[in-house]
C-alpha cells in the first residue's frame, strides 16, 4: 500500500527558508531538508522537519541526484523545492529525473543564466542593456567598437566565476579573459548603464503575479563593493511614477521566462541618460540580504510562507488566496562589519523593527507610515554605520550582507 503522506524535499546550500519549512509543517505537509554537512547545526526548525539530511560540500549534480534517489526509496516526495537560488537547476534536474511536477531544467536556466535572461527578455520586447556573449572574439571587438566604455563583465551564473567587474578599456577585458581561462564563456559583456537601481519581489501563482512590491537601492552594487560599504533600500510607493512603471514592467516580466508558481526577485535600472527602465536580471527564489524581512516589515506578507502556501494549494488542487497586505513604508540599512558581533544598540529609534544579527554583518530594518521619516532614518543610519563600521576595516574574505 502506497503511503499517501504529503511530503516536500527541500534543498538548501545556505541557511535560509526556515519559514517555508514551518509553514509546510503547519499545513500538514512533512518537509525533509537536504543541506550541507557544514550546516547541520544551523538554525533550522528541527521540530518542523520529518528529516534533516546532509551531504558533503562539492558534490556534482549527478551525485546529488543519486543521493535524492536513494532517499526516495523510503519516502515519496510530492514536491522538490530549492530554498536557495544556487540549487535551482539541481532541483529542476531532480524533478525531471523523478517526474515530479514543477519547473524543469530549461525554465530554471532562464532564471539563472543572465545571458539567457537578456536574450529572451529582448526577444519579448523588454529593454535590456546592450550586451555580448563572451565566446567569439570578433563579436567582442565589434561590440566594443559599437558600444563605448565602460562595460561590465558579469558572471552568467553566481558561484562559478568572480563577481561583476568594471571594464574601462579593451586591453583590460583581454587580461580579465586570460585570467578566467576556460571559465570565460560563463560570463557576458554588458554596457554599463548609469542610473537608479530597483528591485521588485513578486509572488506568482498560475502564471500570474498575485503580489509584488518594489524597493529603491540607495547605492548601486558597483558603488557598494564588498568592503564594509553601507547598502540601503527603501520602499517605492505603488502610487509613485516609479512604482507604477516598475510594477507594470515586473507584472509582465516575472512570469515571462516560464514561472508558473513561486517567488521572483527582479532587478531594474532607470538610466540617467534616457530616463527609461531597463531589465537587469531576475531570480526564481526568495532573495538574500534580508529581503524577505524587509518585504514583510513593509507589507505584512512573508514571501517564504506564501510560497509554501502556493505549493501546498497546488498539490491539493485548491485555489491560492493572498492575505491582505498592510500599508506602511519600510527601509533597511545593511553592511559588512569589521567585528564578528557588531553592536547596533546605539540606534534606538522607535521605528526600528528588526536588528540584523549575523556574523560580521550589521543592519537595521525600519517601518513608518510616513515615507519621509523612513528616508530620514535610512540616511541618518547609513551615515552612522559608515562611521561605526568603517569600510577601511574589511571583514574576512567571503563575508557579505547577503
Q: Are residues 224 and 289 in the same domain?
A: yes
Domain end marker among 191, 223, 243: 191
pLDDT score for 398:
42
Q: Are residues 182 and 203 in the same domain?
A: no
115 lies in some domain: no
Task: Give the residue-averaged pLDDT of 314-327.
Answer: 95
Express each pLDDT in 160-179 by its tens digit. Answer: 667 899 999 999 999 999 99
Domain end marker among 191, 212, 228: 191
124 lies in some domain: no
- Judging by beta carbons within 10 Å of its beta carbon (0-12, 13-18, 19+), is residue 365 exposed, middle or buried? buried
332 lies in some domain: yes
Q: Are residues 296 and 344 in the same domain?
A: yes
Cα separation of 320 and 312, whole Å? 9
Instruction: Report helix, strand or coil for 252.
Output: helix
Q: Are residues 71 and 136 in the same domain?
A: no
Owning domain of residue 142: 130-191
The domain spanning residue 163 has which CATH number?
3.30.1490.20
Please check the confidence at residue 391 and state whether its pLDDT lies above 80. no
For residue 150, is the peptide bond before it cis, meaning its omega torsion is within 30 degrees of 0?
yes
Please check the confidence at residue 259 and state whether its pLDDT lies above 60. yes
399 lies in some domain: no
Mean pLDDT of all residues belonging to the chain: 91
215 lies in some domain: yes
Express each pLDDT in 31-86 by its tens digit. Answer: 999 999 999 999 999 999 999 999 999 999 999 999 999 999 999 999 999 999 99
Q: Are residues 252 and 316 in the same domain?
A: yes
285 lies in some domain: yes
Q: Are residues 288 and 343 in the same domain?
A: yes
Cβ–Cβ under 8 Å, residues 113 and 134: no
Q: Are residues 145 and 258 in the same domain?
A: no
Q: Are residues 28 and 80 in the same domain?
A: yes
Domain end marker among 144, 175, 191: 191
- Judging by beta carbons within 10 Å of its beta carbon (0-12, 13-18, 19+), is residue 237 exposed, middle or buried? middle
Please check the confidence at residue 274 and state whether its pLDDT lies above 80. yes
Q: Are residues 237 and 300 in the same domain?
A: yes
How does DSSP classify residue 322?
P
pTM as predicted: 0.91
The domain spanning residue 253 has which CATH number?
3.30.470.20
Q: Are residues 93 and 211 in the same domain?
A: no
Structure confidence at residue 359 as a pLDDT band (50, 70, 90): confident
Q: Are residues 168 and 202 in the same domain?
A: no
Express each pLDDT in 121-144 by its tens digit. Answer: 999 999 999 999 999 999 999 999
Q: Are residues 222 and 247 in the same domain?
A: yes
Please state, in angstroms and as integers, the Cα–Cα distance from residue 215 to each residue in 121, 274, 292, following that order: 21, 21, 12
382 lies in some domain: yes
Place of cell 509543517: 25
Amino acid at each position: 500500500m502506497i503511503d499517501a503522506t504529503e511530503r516536500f524535499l527541500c534543498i538548501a546550500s545556505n541557511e535560509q527558508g526556515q519559514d517555508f519549512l514551518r509553514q509546510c509543517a503547519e499545513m500538514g505537509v512533512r518537509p525533509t531538508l537536504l543541506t550541507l554537512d557544514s550546516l547541520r547545526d544551523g538554525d533550522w526548525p528541527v521540530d518542523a522537519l520529518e528529516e534533516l539530511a546532509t551531504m558533503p560540500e562539492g558534490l556534482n549534480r549527478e551525485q546529488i541526484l543519486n543521493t535524492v534517489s536513494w532517499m526516495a526509496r523510503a519516502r515519496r516526495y510530492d514536491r522538490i523545492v530549492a530554498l536557495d537560488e544556487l540549487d535551482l537547476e539541481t532541483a529542476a534536474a531532480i524533478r525531471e529525473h523523478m517526474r515530479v511536477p514543477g519547473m524543469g531544467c530549461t525554465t530554471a536556466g532562464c532564471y539563472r543564466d543572465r545571458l539567457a535572461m537578456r536574450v529572451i527578455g529582448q526577444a519579448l520586447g523588454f529593454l535590456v542593456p546592450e550586451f555580448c556573449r563572451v565566446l567569439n572574439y570578433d563579436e567582442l571587438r565589434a561590440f566594443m567598437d559599437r558600444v563605448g566604455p565602460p562595460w561590465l563583465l558579469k558572471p552568467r551564473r553566481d558561484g562559478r566565476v568572480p563577481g561583476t567587474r568594471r571594464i574601462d578599456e579593451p586591453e583590460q577585458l583581454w587580461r580579465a579573459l586570460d585570467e578566467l581561462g576556460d571559465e570565460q564563456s560563463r560570463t557576458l559583456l554588458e554596457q554599463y548603464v548609469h542610473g537608479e537601481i530597483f528591485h521588485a519581489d513578486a509572488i506568482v501563482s498560475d502564471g500570474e503575479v498575485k503580489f509584488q512590491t518594489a524597493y529603491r537601492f540607495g547605492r548601486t552594487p558597483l558603488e557598494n563593493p564588498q568592503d564594509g560599504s553601507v547598502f540601503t533600500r527603501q520602499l517605492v510607493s505603488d502610487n509613485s511614477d516609479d512604482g507604477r512603471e516598475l510594477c507594470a514592467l515586473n507584472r509582465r516580466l516575472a512570469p515571462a521566462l516560464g514561472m508558473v508558481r513561486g517567488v521572483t526577485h527582479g532587478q531594474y535600472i532607470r538610466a540617467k541618460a534616457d530616463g527609461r527602465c531597463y531589465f537587469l536580471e531576475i531570480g526564481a527564489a526568495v532573495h538574500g540580504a534580508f529581503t524577505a524581512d524587509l518585504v514583510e516589515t513593509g507589507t505584512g506578507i512573508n514571501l517564504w510562507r506564501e510560497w509554501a502556501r502556493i505549493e501546498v494549494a497546488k498539490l491539493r488542487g485548491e485555489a491560492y488566496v493572498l492575505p491582505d497586505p498592510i500599508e506602511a513604508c519600510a527601509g533597511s540599512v545593511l553592511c559588512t562589519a569589521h567585528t564578528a558581533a557588531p553592536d547596533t544598540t546605539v540606534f534606538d529609534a522607535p521605528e526600528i523593527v528588526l536588528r540584523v544579527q549575523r556574523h560580521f554583518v550589521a543592519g537595521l530594518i525600519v517601518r513608518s507610515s510616513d515615507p519621509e521619516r523612513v528616508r530620514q532614518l535610512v540616511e541618518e543610519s547609513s551615515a552612522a554605520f559608515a562611521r561605526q563600521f568603517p569600510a577601511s576595516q574589511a571583514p574576512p574574505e567571503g563575508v557579505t550582507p547577503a
